[in-house]
Amino acid sequence: MFHASRTLAAAAVAAAAVLGLTGGTAVSAAAHSGSQAAPASQNQPAKRAAVCTVNDNGVNFRGGPGSQYPVLGQVNRGQKLNAHGREGSWIKGDLWGGRTGVWIHVAYLDC
């Protein structure tokens, strides 16, 4: 009887994980049955991007991390950028309400 209820409980946990009923943390049936479960890092939320603010007017944003890349446009003081990468003195990010994957020099950003 104990074995059957344990199997039922494992099945219920697996179904809840598939349906998203575990409050954001998926628990697999394998974890309850003694099998090795997936690493906890797979269940972690994605890292949030830092929000930076442009600190000057007429700031160029580029297609790559350097002045040799083409200017794609300009932004002004107060424009927000979700930063998600850095190479040297250049920050890669997505402009709020605008282009994504642009590069701006750190001298023109407050992060």
Per-residue pLDDT of the chain (111 residues; tens, 9 = 90+): 444 444 434 444 333 333 333 333 333 333 344 444 444 445 555 667 799 999 999 999 999 999 999 999 999 999 999 999 999 999 999 999 999 999 999 999 999
Fold of 50-110: SH3 type barrels. (2.30.30)
pLDDT value of residue 42:
56
Distance, in Å, from the CA atom of 86 to the CA atom of 109, rounded to the nearest integer, reads 12
pTM > 0.75: yes or no: no
Q: Residue 48's pLDDT is what?
A: 73
Domain boundaries, the chain: 2-35, 50-110
